[in-house]
Amino acid sequence: MKQMYLPNRRVICGALFLLISSIGIYWTHMSNTLNAQEQHLLLNDIVNAQAKAFERRLSQSLSATHILALEVQQQNGRIDDFDHFSEEILRTIGGISNLQLAPDGIIQKIYPLLGHEKAIGHNILKDDKRRKEALSAINEQKLTLAGPFELIQGGVAVIGRNPVFIRDGNKQIFWGFTAALIYLDDLLASTELDLLQSKGYRYQLTRRSPDTSETEVITASREPIVSPHRTSTINVPNATWKITISRPMEGSIWQATLGYLTSITIALFGSWAMWFVLRQPEKLQKIVKQKTHELEKFAFYDYLTGLANRRLLNEHLEQVIQQTECCGNSAALLCFDLDDFKRINDSQGHDIGDCVLQQISHRLNSVVNKNDIVARLGGDEFTVLLSASYSASDAGRIAGQLIEVISEPIFLNNKELSVSASVGITMIPSDGNDVSTLLRNADMAMYSAKKSGKRNYHFFNKALQKKALDKVSIEESLDTAISKKQFVLHYQPVFNFYSNKLCCYEALIRWNHPREGLLYPERFIGIAEESGKIKNIGYWVIQEVCNVIKMHQLHIGKRHRIAVNLSPRQFNDPDLLENIRRIIRNVGIDARFLEIEITESTLMENVESAIYTLRQFKELGITVAIDDFGTGYSSLAMLKRLPVDKLKIDRSFVKDLDSNNSDQKIVQALISMAHTLQISVIAEGIETQEQFNLLQQYGCDFGQGYLFSRPVPITELNGAMSTVI
């Protein structure tokens, strides 16, 4: 079979050689032919363009003789102001050496005269060199061109003579000549011959001698005319001039030779390649197999880290589920993402972020067994499938190891970076027997671990599932809570520590849930914030508070400031200021009786933007307070920049104020710092008389809490209200 195959292979390679070489040789021949045709067309266009340019310049210059002749005829044989008239012609037309008047063939006037004085009085009709052309002009009564000839003062010129006839009755009497002396260089300057010569073109300007009928060369390029060349006729009075332009086709033979050799070389290489391919079918099969393996790797593994991807994880997870159900053993699925990874990506760039992911991937592989699966689901989200008879304690131990190795410092580009992780764990098959359920359970456990603090792990349990279902239920119910008027506001009084009188209220939202009864904000505000529904709720609160302010003003006759809380998402709403302006304008209240509270952490997210928004509030007359102060990271320098009226000390500092020395020092420092900046201080969460006494002793301005009153519906507020301070 091999002997039968060899002749066939030779025939195929020989035929391929003939085919490729024939195509290459034909292509080279056609390419050279087309190049030559293009060169001929280009030369033809160029020579015609130069001939037309020369003709236009010559015709324009000779028109001066017609202008002079017309003036002579109009003035019946004389021009009184010849110099001035000629000067205007030269300035207008250009390219003329001088203009002449020769009555009866005798030159009498020349402009400019300087350098041509000897020509005055010269009789053209008696000059043997000029008589023939002059008589021809008279007989034919049309312009003639003499020359070119060398001038005594230097240079080569042509002269156009126009015979002038004056009417005497019914006769045309020869008056003389109007003439224009034109330098040949000026005519050539109207063309691009010098530029073409610099680009390798060659040219030659010729005329047929009127005396000998031989071709005379007027001017030419430094290099002689070669083939291919093209010639164009230049029409001049009483003569025919021709211009010829050529350009050597440099390298055409070399290019053709190179094309033929290249064709043969490619044909040889193609034949050798075909021979090589036909000889190595097994190698091709190996290559196909290798590429197939690489494609499978791309399909099942993450390109950046080399870890398993979601598709491979799902396949292994299905196998583990079946195995645990059949054998009665257990396995575990761990899910986590990297805390602070977005900060690294944003500050250091995606390249550094990719390097961090790669290093973390190596560390993860160092913790688990070779039979376990480490997968990257996307971004900074990872999972670990512990597939070989793992108990819950084993899963917890490995989760702790993963947290430890992830938290170790990462050194890149002489910088120390750090990330952490919170791990969610779900057991197989006790927590679920399908892929989507297990992934969802591990995800819920991870978020539960995050909420309890970083570098922690949580197991999935039914409580988490119930919490997740409750969250979904709450989120769905939020859509109709406003339209069904299920939200209500309770108001907690704020008292002045010095006068012991009511000064204002804080509006606190409650939800009359149709199934669960009265819900406090901690049950639904966080969900509303995450889903983005907090904005509509927040604007409803502002609208209701403004209505209450208006109602008190109209029906009770007393005005009290009411404070509302803005969520982070609502504070960053681009339409916040416009919406608040609209509500205040529509309700018709004095903005001084509206107070806005923003948490310290919200202000620190984007300080410059926050300062701008707070200033807009102040311009409207709204009172501004920082809520939960002391829990964030704002400095005295930053606080100085914020246009605020009040600080609200967080209840966490007030709770143990009567027994915790550290809280006492912090509260004293906060009050002192605020008063230094002329900012009032409110303490919230006051529940005991001892807390009240200490705060009053420290100089706190206002307070609220259960010691004074719980938040109550508007219908239960005490009717006796003091004037707002």
What is the per-residue pLDDT across 466-505, written as a single tens digit (0 to 9) for each? 777 777 778 888 888 888 889 999 999 999 998 888 899 9
Give the pLDDT of residue 2: 44
**H/E segment holding residue 55:** helix 2-74
Name which of 505, 516, 580, 503 is nearest 549 in CA terms.
505
HEC profile of 465-484 = HHHHHHHHHHHHHHHHHCCC
* C-alpha dist (Å) from residue 203 to 200, 337, 491, 498: 10, 79, 102, 109
pLDDT classification of 707: cutoffs 50, 70, 90: very high
284 within domain boundaries: no
Same domain, 416 and 493: no
Residues linked to residue 161 through DSSP beta bridges, in sequence order: 144, 179
Cβ proximity of 436 and 442 under 8 Å: no
Question: Mean pLDDT in the chain?
Answer: 84
pLDDT classification of 211: cutoffs 50, 70, 90: low
434 within domain boundaries: yes
Same domain, 80 and 227: yes
Residues linked to residue 509 through DSSP beta bridges, in sequence order: 489
Scanning 552-676, the segments in alpha helix (DSSP H) are: 568-571, 576-587, 600-605, 607-620, 636-641, 651-655, 661-676
232 within domain boundaries: yes
pLDDT above 90 covers what percent of the chain?
30
Give the pLDDT confidence of 134-187 residue by residue, as tens digits.
Answer: 888 888 888 888 878 777 667 788 888 889 998 877 888 889 999 998 888 888
Q: Could you tell me which residues come within 8 angstroms of residue 49 by beta carbon, excluding any fewer than 6 positions away?
A: 192
Give the pLDDT of residue 721: 42
Helix 310-327 vs helix 435-451: crossing angle, to nearest 10: 100
Here the CATH number for the domain that contains residue 57 is 3.30.450.350
Helix/strand/coil for 400: helix
381-386/331-339 β-pairing: antiparallel
265 within domain boundaries: no
Nearest-5° Cα angle at 174, 171 to 175: 120
Q: What number is the average pLDDT over the span 197-219?
A: 81
Same domain, 682 and 560: yes
Cβ proximity of 101 and 68 under 8 Å: yes
Last residue of a domain, one of 223, 251, 279: 251
The answer, as to whether pTM is greater than 0.85, is no
601-636 as b/e, with b when 16 or more CB fall inside 10 Å? ebbeeeeeebeebbebbeeeebbbbbbbbbebebee
Q: Give CA–CA dist 31/255, Å, rounded.
A: 10
Q: What number is the average pLDDT over the span 192-208?
A: 85
> What total of structural domains would you count in the chain?
3
450 within domain boundaries: yes
Same domain, 612 and 683: yes
Same domain, 206 and 80: yes
Give the pLDDT confidence of 563-613 residue by residue, as tens digits.
Answer: 999 999 999 999 999 999 999 999 999 999 999 999 988 888 888 999 999
- R_g of the chain, CA atoms, integer Å: 51
Here the CATH number for the domain that contains residue 678 is 3.20.20.450
Here the CATH number for the domain that contains residue 341 is 3.30.70.270
Last residue of a domain, one of 460, 482, 497: 460
Tell me 687's DSSP state.
-
Q: Give CA–CA dist 399/380, Å, rounded.
A: 17
256-269 as b/e, with b when 16 or more CB fall inside 10 Å? beebeeebeeebee
> Chain-centre distance of CA 63, in angstroms?
60
Q: Which of 17-26, 488-497, 697-706 has the lowest mean pLDDT?
A: 17-26
Instruction: Indicate if the pLDDT at residue 723 is higher than 50.
Output: no
Same domain, 443 and 349: yes
Same domain, 504 and 449: no
Last residue of a domain, one of 184, 219, 251: 251
* C-alpha dist (Å) from residue 125 to 46, 106, 107: 40, 8, 10
Give the pLDDT of residue 172: 85
DSSP letters for 231-297: EEEEEETTEEEEEEEE---TTHHHHHHHHHHHHHHHHHHHHHHHHHHHH-HHHHHHHHHHHHHHHHH
Q: Give CA–CA dist 85/39, Å, rounded.
A: 48
Q: Which of 344-348, 499-503, 698-702 has the lowest mean pLDDT?
A: 344-348
* C-alpha dist (Å) from residue 612 to 36, 58, 623: 74, 76, 15
* C-alpha dist (Å) from residue 142 to 110, 134, 157: 21, 10, 20
Cβ proximity of 541 and 528 under 8 Å: no
Same domain, 318 and 444: yes
Same domain, 311 and 345: yes
723 within domain boundaries: no
469: tokens are 């279902």
Instruction: Indicate if the pLDDT at residue 293 is higher than 70.
Output: no
Same domain, 418 and 336: yes
542-567 as b/e, with b when 16 or more CB fall inside 10 Å? bebbbebbbebbeeeeebbbbbbbbb
Give the pLDDT of residue 720: 36
9: tokens are 């292979």
- More confident call, 722 vs 118: 118
**H/E segment holding residue 490:** strand 487-496
Q: What number is the average pLDDT over the span 427-442?
A: 89
Residue 391 structural domain: 296-460
**H/E segment holding residue 489:** strand 487-496
> Chain-centre distance of CA 656, in angstroms?
55
* C-alpha dist (Å) from residue 514 to 428, 480, 651: 37, 11, 31
Q: Which of 180-194, 290-304, 654-668 has the lowest mean pLDDT?
A: 290-304
559 within domain boundaries: yes
Q: Could you tell me which residues come within 8 angstroms of residue 279 by beta carbon, excluding any fewer than 6 positions away?
A: 9
Q: Which of 45-59, 348-362, 531-545 has the lowest mean pLDDT?
A: 45-59
Give the pLDDT confidence of 75-98 residue by residue, as tens digits.
Answer: 888 787 888 888 888 888 877 888
Same domain, 93 and 212: yes
Same domain, 453 and 489: no
| Prior bond of 148 cis (ω within 30°) | yes
Cβ proximity of 64 and 58 under 8 Å: no
pLDDT classification of 722: cutoffs 50, 70, 90: very low
Give the pLDDT confidence of 452-464 residue by residue, as tens digits.
Answer: 878 889 998 877 7
Q: Give CA–CA dist 99/110, Å, rounded.
A: 6
Q: Give CA–CA dist 238/70, Å, rounded.
A: 21
272 within domain boundaries: no
221: tokens are 């390029």
Q: Which of 73-82, 204-213, 647-656, 687-696 has the lowest mean pLDDT?
A: 204-213
Give the pLDDT of residue 4: 41
Give the pLDDT confidence of 608-657 residue by residue, as tens digits.
Answer: 999 999 999 999 999 999 998 876 656 677 788 899 999 999 899 999 99
